[in-house]
Amino acid sequence: MKKQVRTITEGSMMLAIIGLFLFLNLQFAGILQTYFIIIIPLPILIYTIRYGFKNGLIISLAAVFLTIMLGNVITLFYIGGGLLVGLAYGYGVNSGKSNDWLILFATIINAVSLFIETYVLAAFIGYDLVKDTEALVESLKTIDGLVLPDNFIKQVLILTPIILLLTGFIQALLTHLLSVTLLKRLNITVRKMKPLKQIQLPKWMGIITLIGLFGSTLLYQTGDENLQMISTVILFISMLIIIGDAFVLIAIYGQRTNRKFLPTLAMIALILLPTFLIYGFIGLGLLDCFTDLRKRVEQITK
């Protein structure tokens, strides 16, 4: 009896948290649902882990009805995606799934949500991807000294799905990190995260990305527009993989030298000065893959 009362009480608390979020989101004209999407799954996630998938599903349905009363179609879509992530994550933890499984399913749900938002629901908010991209390119052309290829708009449009998938992964990763922190404070057993030193680009993948870097350049120089689009995708994916490995190395170096701000600083620097730093990050990632640089960094004493 006490457990049932506690289940109902905590369920009401979770709904109150979601209701408060919806109210504040309404006051801020929908800004919160865009910039704080990573925290939407947390209430349902915790509740599902504590009281099971069935009870979590009931509270999720109640949250949907609450969203209908306090939001609009777009808000319902955001909240619905967050609820699905919370349910899937809670089910995964209760079933003993690995962290990779949790992040993978959260990434899939986030990516599907982003795809629907970008290509289906855009009409509800007056958003046109092609026209907005054209407007962006026209504004970039006004910058002195900046030269853009003739097919730059097509390159942006073809890379958009990859960027959406990457965004879904980042959202899933941030939600996972927040979840692990909260669950530990609630004394809920969670799987330990894989140490950073175990995350390294294998040599065979490094060779493939290296071929992708040079091969994409050769494809682009053919002048064939279709081959240029393919080369753009290959180049973008290859750079993402190598730069991701470089950031892991920077994070390990930051840990070993008690400079944990280095990954954040490196990210900001890459965003502000991409033209100058991107080649440095690619070089660092390749060195980490093909040399013993990782071992040397790990030997640094704090």
Residue 91 phi, psi (nearest 5): -60, -40
Q: Would the pLDDT of 243 be above 80?
A: yes
**Averaged pLDDT, 98-114:** 87
What b/e sequence results for 11-28 when a residue is b if at least 16 CB atoms lie within 10 Å of its CB, and e otherwise? beebbebbeebbeebeee
Check residue 250 and give its pLDDT: 86
Q: How confident is the model at residue 254 (pLDDT cuts 50, 70, 90)?
A: confident
Check residue 96 and give its pLDDT: 83
The CATH label, of 1.25.40, 1.10.3470, 1.25.10, 1.10.1760, for the domain at 2-185 is 1.10.1760
Residues 6 or more apart whose CB falls under 8 angstroms from that of 260 comprise: 254
**From the CB of residue 147, how many other CB atoms can be counted at a distance below 10 Å?**
7
Check residue 1 and give its pLDDT: 57
C-alpha 245/C-alpha 263 separation (Å) is 12
Half-sphere exposure of 146 (CA within 13 A, CB side): 11
Give the tokens for residue 204: 């065979």
CB-based contact 89:95 (threshold 8 Å):
no
Q: Which residue has the tokens 């100058």?
A: 276
Q: What angle do CA 205, 206, 207 make, to 5 degrees?
A: 90
CB-based contact 209:203 (threshold 8 Å):
no
C-alpha 242/C-alpha 281 separation (Å) is 8
Q: Which helix (H) or strand (E) holds 1?
A: none
Q: What is the pLDDT of residues 21-69, one digit of tens each?
A: 888 877 777 777 777 778 888 888 888 888 888 888 888 888 888 888 8
Q: pLDDT averaged over the chain?
A: 81
Residue 40 phi, psi (nearest 5): -60, -40
C-alpha 18/C-alpha 66 separation (Å) is 8
CB-based contact 289:201 (threshold 8 Å):
yes
Q: How confident is the model at residue 146 (pLDDT cuts 50, 70, 90)?
A: low
Q: What is the pLDDT of residues 166-222, one digit of tens each?
A: 888 888 888 888 888 888 887 777 777 777 777 888 888 888 988 888 888 888 777
Domain boundaries, the chain: 2-185, 196-298
**Averaged pLDDT, 251-260:** 83
Q: What's the pTM?
A: 0.80
52: left (phi over 0), alpha (psi -120 to 50) or beta: left
